[in-house]
Amino acid sequence: MTKKSANDNKTFKKSDYVVYPAHGVGRVVGVEKESVAGYDIEVYVVSFEQDKMTLRVPTAKATAAGMRPLASDDVLKDALKTLKGKPKVKRTMWSRRAQEYEAKINSGDLISIAEVVRDLHRQEDQPEPSYSERQLYESALDRMVREVAAVEKVDREKALEMLTTTLTKKAA
């Protein structure tokens, strides 16, 4: 019996930064062949430094799993424009909104994440957010900061400063 092999359409190369929906920005540290249940499959080995985690994604399923390259400059501009927009606060129950926010964060889509950051951002004169609101806000902001830092090739602090400036500008 001959071993079947995965298709060899490699979209990402070693040392490429990628975005994996559930985990945010990671770096491809290699492409390896692994044998699983008698099949040879090729996997991207993606390292998420900030989470001290390594993920193995089959090359054939990477796109279907939502793995994508970093956002383009245009997408980044749109995301920053989204941050400047007026927050959309739905009058539904918090649990339902929280689920929607969580889904947007885990979609891996930079613009959806920007919407969550925009909607949950509080100005100094606004009441203190609840614990769960703050958790979702920080989670979304962290995802956005990581991607902006990788796209702009700056460190986290610089990226955070960029986003904070954008968020406070819209208030003025």
Domains by residue range for the chain, with CATH: 17-69 (2.40.10.170), 73-171 (1.20.58.1290)
Whole-Å CA distances, 129 to 74, 124, 137, 171: 32, 11, 10, 17
Helix 94-107 to helix 131-152 angle (10° resolution) is 20
What is the rounded CA–CA span in Å between residue 160 and residue 154? 10
Q: What is the pLDDT along the chain (172 residues), one digit of tens a residue?
A: 333 334 445 688 898 999 998 888 999 999 999 888 888 899 999 999 888 999 999 998 898 888 999 999 999 999 999 999 888 878 889 999 999 999 999 998 999 999 999 999 987 778 888 899 999 999 999 999 999 999 999 999 999 999 998 888 765 5
pTM for the structure as a whole: 0.83
